[in-house]
Structures are given as structure tokens and as C-alpha cells.
Structure 1
């Protein structure tokens, strides 16, 4: 048990640091103007969600096809020779 006493100072410092950060961060980032928040929300909703899925220029592989899984494993049928 005495060996663990060397941990006490670091634990106390860590707890004090967490309490200080919690106290300083309590004020928050301030209030955002309602009109600015509404404008940001409108801009985000108007963006094209498919725009994020396009590959970057110069990307060698084609974009992956969406696999519509039904939850049932089905083996592909054999080709007729």
C-alpha cells in the first residue's frame, strides 16, 4: 500500500486540473445569434448529401456499389456451359 503513495500527488493534480477545466468551460462559448443559427441550419439542409460520396479527383477505383442486403445469404447461380 505504501508503494502506491507516490501516485497521490499526480492524482491530486489530475483532479484539480479536471475541476479547473470544468469551471472555466462552464461559461461555454457564448450564445449564438438565433438568426445566424437558422442561416447555418438552412445552409446545411440545402447541401447535396450525395456530394460527399463522390470520389476525389484522380481516384483509381470506381465508387463502391450500394449492396442492398436482405439478410439472407444467397449463392450466385452457376453459369450454364
Structure 2
């Protein structure tokens, strides 16, 4: 039972730190003006979002028969 009493202090410190950090995190979240949000969305939608790498064609999967067969040469 004495061992469990040693765990009370660290548990209280941990819970206190979690409450403190969550309270500090609330300050950084402000309301974004609706017009500003619409302008940001419009700017993001107007960007050209082409990928840097060309799209690869889909691979044709070989039919698996469960038996090792050497491919025939054509």
C-alpha cells in the first residue's frame, strides 16, 4: 500500500501539467474572419495542383495459380 502512496504525487503533477497545457493551448485559437477564410479557400482552389511525378499506369496482375510456372518466351 505504501508503494501506491508514492504514486499519488507524480500522478497529481502529471494531471496538473495536462490541465495547465490544455488551458494555455486555448489562448492561441482565435476566430478567423469569414471573409479571410473564403479568400484563403479561393486562393488554394485556384492553385495548379499537378503532381511532380507522372501517374503510373495500373499494373496488370498475373493470375496466380499457386504453382510455380516459368513464363513462356514469345
Give the structure-1-normalised TM-score.
Answer: 0.56
Unaligned runs of 5+ in 1: 56-62
2:17 and 2:34 map into 1 onto residues whose CA distance is 34
Larger radius of gyration: 2
How many residue pairs match? The answer is: 68
Select the structure with the greater relative contact order (CA < 8 A; seq sep ≥ 6). 1
Unaligned runs of 5+ in 2: 64-70
1:47/1:65 CA distance change after superposition, 3 Å: same
Give the structure-2-normalised TM-score.
Answer: 0.60
How far apart are residue 66 of structure 1 and its match?
4.6
